[in-house]
Amino acid sequence: IFYFIGIRPQARRQKEQQQLIGALKTGDRVVTSSGIHGLIANVKDSTVIVKVADNVKIEMEKSAIASVAKAAE
């Protein structure tokens, strides 16, 4: 019973997060786990560069991306 209440939902969330990270691409609007909103300017192996304002770019770990607000088309 504990497996279905605690472990399985956590594993599902972890899998969804990995899929989100794997699908990141230049142009996606994202929200980080700390609440910073920005536009992905470049995707590297384990990091992304997020443009948060004119001439302001932040390099951060892909795992810091909490959600994609709007995917690039």
User: b/e for 20-30, b at 16 or more Cβ within 10 A?
Assistant: bbeebeeebeb
Per domain, the residue ranges of the chain are 2-70
Q: How far apart are CA 50 and CA 17, in angstroms?
A: 18
Say what the pTM is: 0.77
CA 69 vs CA 6, 9, 60, 66: distances in Å: 28, 23, 17, 10
Place of tokens 């536009």: 39
**What pLDDT is stored for residue 12 in this prediction?**
87
Q: How far apart are CA 51 and CA 73, in angstroms?
A: 17
* CATH code for the part of the protein at 2-70: 2.30.30.30
| 59 confidence band (pLDDT: 50, 70, 90) | very high
| 6 confidence band (pLDDT: 50, 70, 90) | confident
